[in-house]
Amino acid sequence: MPFFVVKRDLPGVTPEALKSAGIRAKSCCAEMTGEGQPVRWVRSFYLPETAQTHCYFEAASKSAVEEANQRARIPFTQIVEVMEMTPEMV
C-alpha cells in the first residue's frame, strides 16, 4: 500500500496535545480499517523549529488518509504520497 505524509502547521502545540491527537488518529485508523478502508498511522515527526509535524500513513488512497485525519479532527495543510527509501534499499 502507498505511503503518504501529512504535513501540519501546529504553532504553540504542546506535547500533550500531540499525544491526544495520536490517540484520536489511532482510533480513527482502526475504525476505518474495521469498516474496510485500511489506514495505518505509521509514525510522526515533530519539527520544533518550524512547529510542523510530518505524519506518515499507509493507506490505499490519499482520500482515506484525509478522511482519517478529518475524523480525528487533526488539522493538516497538505497530504502527499511519498516513496519510501531506507539505507538497505540503496
Partner 1 sequence: MKYTIPIDSHHSGSITLFKIVLEYMNDVDLATSFAIFAAKQRGAAQVTPDHILLGCLRAISRFGIASLGAWSLDLEALGIDWVRQPDGPRPKVAYSQDAVHLLDLAAQIAKSAGDAGVDVKHVLAAFAAEESGLMGELKNTYGITSASWRAAVSKLGAHETETIAGAGLDRAANEKKSAREYLTPEEASEALGIHVQTMRAYIRGGRVPAFRLAGERAIRILRRDLEKVLEPLEGEKKED
Nearer to partner 1, 13 or 54 (CB): 13
The three grid cell numbers given for residue 74, joined into one nine-digit string: 487533526
Distance from chain centroid for Cα 1: 15
Please give the single-letter amino acid code of residue 6: V
List the Cα angle 29/36/70 in 5-degree steps: 35
Binding partner 1 by CB under 8 A: which of 3, 7, 26, 52?
Answer: 26
CB atoms within 10 A of CB 8: 22
- x/- string (CB under 8 A) for partner 1, residues 41-80? x----------------xx-------x--xxxx-------
Residues that bind partner 1 (CB under 8 A): 1, 14-17, 19-20, 23-24, 26-31, 33-35, 38-41, 58-59, 67, 70-73
